[in-house]
């Protein structure tokens, strides 16, 4: 069944209150979020290689939609839902996952796939209620490939790496689009918005910007599933995904843990085992 048909049936049978999916965008290379409340509206849903957004954001952010929510979910987006279930932000029964097979997405008119798609190992979501189409074969997880982009940065001498990041952060205007687009950045009060005491300076100067990106990366350690939304929405083209990738790599090397794989697993930073690596505790 096409995702439209699935959405229509779900709304007709009232199994869900709304379906969140994609519809045609107003400009080339973009798709628009569509929140359908009636079966008729479901006809407008589409799914193609421009369906970049991680719609799991609508489970945690901003506007509370009536539950249960039908959601268009790609493989990478499903990892987010796993994370949200692990962290008790979403109940499994409140989300009806319309699984979508995805061979990579793009925002570029020349069709070049996003970086994350080149090393994707979840073309078919691992978690769904209904899958549109037949599951497609998967590429195995390859650590060396996965972190290739990061290795280029890590190979830089420390001064050069510092200069690279300071130049990148220099562009930051502190719009917090990275936070707002992140489905796992769901704190009701963000640390950067706290004023008494003020932990992180909100001004877009070197100290403020460094502190902000630093703390966000730490807060996502072992949690970020690498959907890449922060980097996609950053109009200043700051390679934010690299920061999260660095944390993911550390967590993988220390604990052999990959975020967004197992909803029953305990995230390593909330868990303790006797055999945990302790070399960094002095």
Q: Least Å distance between CB 273 and other proteins? A: 37
Binding to other proteins by residue 203, rule CB under 8 A? yes
Looking at the DSSP bridge assignments, the partners of residue 23 are 32
Task: Please select the residue that binds other proteins; options are 2, 5, 32, 160, rule is CB under 8 A.
Answer: 32
> Which one-letter DSSP state was computed for residue 116?
H
Binding to other proteins by residue 26, rule CB under 8 A? yes
Q: Which residues contact 71 (CB under 8 A, 6 or more apart)?
A: 19, 20, 21, 55, 56, 58, 59, 81, 95, 96, 97, 98
Q: What 3-state class would DSSP assign to 157?
A: coil
Task: Please select the residue that binds other proteins; options are 17, 23, 89, 106, rule is CB under 8 A.
Answer: 23
Nearer to other proteins, 2 or 32 (CB): 32
**Residues 33 and 22 sit within 8 Å (Cβ to Cβ):** yes
**Residues 172 and 216 sit within 8 Å (Cβ to Cβ):** no
Task: Please select the residue that binds other proteins; options are 31, 80, 86, 244, rule is CB under 8 A.
Answer: 31
Residues 223-242 that bind other proteins (CB under 8 A): 229, 232-233, 235-238
Measured distance CA(67)–CA(180) in Å, rounded: 21
Nearer to other proteins, 19 or 251 (CB): 19
Contact residues: other proteins, CB under 8 A: 23, 25-28, 30-35, 53, 57-58, 61-63, 65, 167-168, 170-171, 173-177, 180-181, 193, 195, 198, 201-205, 208, 229, 232-233, 235-238
């Amino acid at each position: 069944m096409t995702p439209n048909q699935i959405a229509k049936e779900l709304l007709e049978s009232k199994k869900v209150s709304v379906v969140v999916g994609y519809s045609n965008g107003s400009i080339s290379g973009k798709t628009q979020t569509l929140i359908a409340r009636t079966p008729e509206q479901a006809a407008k849903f589409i799914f193609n290689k421009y369906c970049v957004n991680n719609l799991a954001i609508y489970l945690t952010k901003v506007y509370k939609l009536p539950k249960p929510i039908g959601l268009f979910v790609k493989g990478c987006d499903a990892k987010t839902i796993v994370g949200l279930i692990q962290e008790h932000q979403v109940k499994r029964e409140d989300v009806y996952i319309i699984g979508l097979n995805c061979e990579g997405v793009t925002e570029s008119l020349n069709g070049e796939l996003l970086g994350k798609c080149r090393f994707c190992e979840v073309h078919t979501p691992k978690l769904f209620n209904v899958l549109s189409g037949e599951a497609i074969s998967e590429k195995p997880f390859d650590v060396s490939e996965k972190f290739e982009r990061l290795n280029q940065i890590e190979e830089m001498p420390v001064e050069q790496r510092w200069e690279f990041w300071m130049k990148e952060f220099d562009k930051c205007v502190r719009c917090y689009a990275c936070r707002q687009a992140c489905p796992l950045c769901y704190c009701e009060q963000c640390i950067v918005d706290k004023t008494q005491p003020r932990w992180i300076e909100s001004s877009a100067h070197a100290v403020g910007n460094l502190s902000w990106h630093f703390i966000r990366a730490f807060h996502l350690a072992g949690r970020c599933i690498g959907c890449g939304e922060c980097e996609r929405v950053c109009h200043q083209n700051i390679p934010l995904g690299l920061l999260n990738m660095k944390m993911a790599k550390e967590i993988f090397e220390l604990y052999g843990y990959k975020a967004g794989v197992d909803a029953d697993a305990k995230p390593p930073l909330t868990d303790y085992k006797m055999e945990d690596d302790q070399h960094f505790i002095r």
